[in-house]
Amino acid sequence: MALANPACASGGTFPMKATQARLRAWGGVAEPITLCQQPTFSHQLGAALQRPAPSHLVVGNLRSYGDEVLNPDGHFIQTTHCDRVLHFDRRNGVVQVESGITLAALQRIIAPHGWMLPVTPGTALLTVGGAIANDVHGKNHHTAGTFGQHVRELGLVRSDGQVLRCGPTEQADWFAATLGGMGLTGAITEATLQLRPSGSGLLNIENHRFANLDGFFALDALHTPQHEYAVAWIDCAAQGRQLGRGIFSVADHQPSAGEVPPAVLPPSAAALRQRTVPCELPVSLINSLSLRPFNWFYYHRPGVGLPAHTQQSMYQWLYPLDRIQHWNRLYGRAGFVQFQCVIPPQHARDALQEMLTTIARSGTGSFLAVLKNFGNQRSPGLLSFPMPGTTLALDFPWQGQATATLLAQLHAINLAAKGRIYAAKDSHAPAHALAAGYPELATFSRYLDPKLQSRMRQRFGL
């Protein structure tokens, strides 16, 4: 259940005292709830938006890390009951769904018919609406682009009652504003998606160790053009001559030899419940004492060599953390923050070196540190995050002012290198960071819905 109140387990409207419930983002930041609406069908989203309130915010399964999903007025519309498949063309791999269905639930429906989503991020537990609102990307950006590039059409309802049908060729301006628009242009009611064949559901994987950033860039240039997926894990606890070491991985789908075997289908909700962090811990298990030995063992783990070949279910490899329910609780009550940026190629090497040096000097580090190069594919989204360059994503346990200082330093390095931040992961970027990284921000602002409000919108002055 996404919201912190059992009354919200079924469709309806639930006014409540601010002390009774709080909505929590995945990173742990929270907002009191004064009104929670959970429509049962997507066509009810328009009426929910028009309910009298100072402002609203439409949320999904709450997998956003920061203040994107927090409404300062405490009025929320959650879409997770709007989770139906409206039409599935099994022959051509086209599916129309309500916006509240999760990627995992959708893939459990389409996988037995030999289809999969062309692009997914590192979790399948976000909603289709959330994937569009953040125009998410995956480990195959260089071959498949962003999620939004595979959306044929979407429905959008505004707080003034306006209903729009948007797509690459129909109401294309609204479509561009809504892709990556952080849910601020209106409520996404449903979407039509183009799927891709899933093959056998298995991936053939190669893993390579690299000793520093130069090693990463050399491996990326050699291997990424030849493979569908490419990503690297980087050891943020390493220092000195080991600074920037990590593991580079590439993968490709294995062709299907017949029916999709059950073992490679997404795990069911029941299976996920068997592997869970049962409660929020009083202190973070991700700290300076645990990071260094964990990263050392992960870097030296068996099955990684020059190169090492292995085979995995695509769900195991694409979503390793989805196998542990509520893994964010490992960070304790204070939660965690994520920093993600993308830096243009001409500045990437030096800026990343400076960032990693800054992190090492801070005495902290990241358990989940991802490094990869984006391709040249351009999403139509005005605020879509990917651009040609290198992206670095890092999770930090929240340690108050020390973490805030580190984030400020990383943001300064990113801005000096003409990089951009990923709003879906952000909660601390300065107000000018969005405009600095997104030249079409002024155009996007013309499509904002005046009744949709978030802490992030306030912070960026939109």
Residue 49: per-residue pLDDT: 95
* Other beta carbons less than 10 A from residue 315's beta carbon: 23
How far lies 287's CA from each of 127, 200, 302, 373, 428, in Å? 31, 39, 24, 28, 20
DSSP string covering 428-461? ---THHHHHH-TTHHHHHTT--TTB--HHHHHTT
| Full pLDDT tens readout for the chain, 462 residues | 334 333 343 456 544 343 458 888 888 888 889 889 999 999 999 999 999 999 999 999 999 988 999 999 999 999 999 999 999 999 999 999 999 999 999 999 999 898 999 999 999 999 999 999 999 999 999 999 999 999 999 999 999 999 999 999 999 999 999 999 999 999 999 999 999 998 888 899 999 999 999 999 999 999 999 999 999 999 988 888 888 999 999 999 988 766 665 555 666 666 656 677 767 767 766 666 677 777 777 777 766 655 678 888 888 899 988 887 887 788 888 888 999 999 999 999 999 999 999 998 887 877 789 999 999 999 999 999 999 999 999 999 899 999 999 999 999 999 999 999 999 889 999 999 999 999 999 999 999 999 999 999 999 999
List of residues 6+ apart from 30 with CB closer than 8 A: 4, 22, 23, 24, 70
Residue 4: per-residue pLDDT: 37
Three-class DSSP category at 231: strand
List of residues 6+ apart from 361 with CB closer than 8 A: none
DSSP lists the bridge partners of residue 230 as 250
Contact of 367 with 427, CB cutoff 8 Å: no
Contact of 145 with 190, CB cutoff 8 Å: no
Contact of 188 with 59, CB cutoff 8 Å: no
The pairing of beta strand 35-38 with beta strand 75-78:
parallel
Contact of 421 with 450, CB cutoff 8 Å: no
The first and second tokens of residue 425, run together, are 């992961």
Of 208, 274, 201, the C-alpha closest to 245 is 208
Of 331, 249, 242, the C-alpha closest to 283 is 331
The first and second tokens of residue 441, run together, are 């921000």
The total number of residues written for the chain in this structure? 462
Q: Across the chain, which distance is largest between two alpha carbons, in Å?
A: 62
What is the phi/psi pair of residue 412, to 5°?
A: -65, -40
The residue whose two tokens read 């929670």 is: 36
- The rounded distance, in Å, linking the Cα atoms of 378 and 359 is 31
- The rounded distance, in Å, linking the Cα atoms of 21 and 334 is 18
List of residues 6+ apart from 233 with CB closer than 8 A: 246, 247, 249, 298, 369, 370, 371
- The rounded distance, in Å, linking the Cα atoms of 43 and 176 is 22
Q: Using alpha carbons only, what angle is made at residue 411 by residues 429 and 341, rounded to the nearest 5 degrees?
A: 90
Peptide bond just before 430 cis, omega within 30 deg: no
Strand order in the sheet with 57-59: 12-15, 35-38, 75-78, 57-59
The amino acid sitting at 243 is: L
The residue whose two tokens read 């009611």 is: 189
DSSP string covering 121-163? -S-S-SBHHHHHHTT---TTHHHH--GGGGEEEEEEE-TTS-E
